[in-house]
Chain A
């Protein structure tokens, strides 16, 4: 039997739900927990750069970059990491310098870099991708020594069975980062300019918070009259 659409049917379908009584309390508990979030990790991080890009991120003392250009890159990386940890950045634009890493490791890192924000892949996927399908263990080692964690997202590589796998800063941090990426949007538009950006774009950052509108795709944004930003070119994002 065919169903004929009526407004009453739509109203019946969309009838509001009863809210659980605990809702407000749960949110307030979460609010207290989020106050002590991952920003602490950023305080522990030291960043090093060459003139070409970020070369090392570690939770230990590192030498100060030699040139003013490198110091500017370090500042930029720190800002981008801060926004990333706050859930306000879905990509890194600061360059990395992997010239000091051995060839095999560099290829592993380049492959990991292709994993889109918010997604995960098994170690075997990376091995396959660099043309060494049996070198799963070596891939794990190479990722474990990732000189630029976060920016090269080695945390998006998991064990094939779904296990979290190891991580430079501990597996708890790894699952924390994955959870963070699961709740960070990728595309946002500005309700006053009708421009859609990747979250973290420099022109998007000037947007007033109450003008933020999240979209599921650039195509969706276009369908309601938004145009893609010329600075961050969201159509090119994965």
Chain B
């Protein structure tokens, strides 16, 4: 398989086939992160499309010292975080935690690791976790990224990554234990 960085070089020269290949490699994971952050599939697809458009148009600004995935996740989380800002102002974040779309996902057969009830509990608890910690949780658990990669993606120190993740998890735990989430 062609190396990511060489593929990016071709994308920067406007090679549409290379871009299609790149989207094939990362589209699912990007969508996974966006979906967990934004709630609905439609909003997640919209965010991923916007992020990929920025990647395609800005491919010339990609620097080879970055892993391609780090660069893609940076752009995607920038789009998602801004979408969350907009919702905070309009109270949409709460509405989105009750969409039918979510129930579909919760009852999906592919989820062997947790019950639909646990899925919903977790989703409602996550809405209460501050944005920065939520973004890090999503990146950490969708793609198993290292602390170092998380730090590069959000432009923060490794210690901050660790403390944010710990804080996010303890808030999740508290919300779940209280049962206030159910």
The chain A residues found within 8 Å of chain B, CB to CB, are 1-5, 8-20, 23-28, 30-31, 34, 118-119, 182-183, 185-192, 194, 208-217, 220, 223-225
Contacts and interface: CB of A to CB of B under 8 A. Distances in A.
Nearest to A4: B176
A18 B110 CA distance: 12
Contact of B160 (A4, A217, A224): A224
Given A2-B176, A10-B137, A209-B58, A220 B32 contact: no
Contacts of A225: 156-157, 160
Nearest to A186: B85
B28 to A, nearest CB: 4
Chain A CB within 10 Å, residue with most, of B28, B111, B114, B119:
B114
Chain B CB within 10 Å, residue with most, of A190, A192, A223:
A223
Given A8-B113, A10-B137, A14-B141, 15 more contacts: A2-B179, A5-B122, A12-B119, A15-B32, A16-B142, A16-B143, A18-B31, A23-B45, A24-B24, A30-B53, A185-B81, A214-B81, A214-B82, A216-B81, A223-B130
Contacts of A191: 152, 155-156
Interface size class of B (residues with CB under 8 A): 35 or more
Interface of B: 16, 19-20, 22-24, 27-32, 35-36, 41, 44-45, 48-50, 52-53, 56-58, 61-63, 66, 71, 74, 77-79, 81-82, 84-86, 88-89, 110-114, 117-119, 121-123, 130-132, 137-138, 141-143, 152, 154-157, 160, 164, 169, 172-173, 176-177, 179, 181-182
Given A210-B63, A210-B66, A223-B132, A13 B114 contact: yes
A217 B61 contact: no
Nearest to B126: A13
A185 B79 CA distance: 8
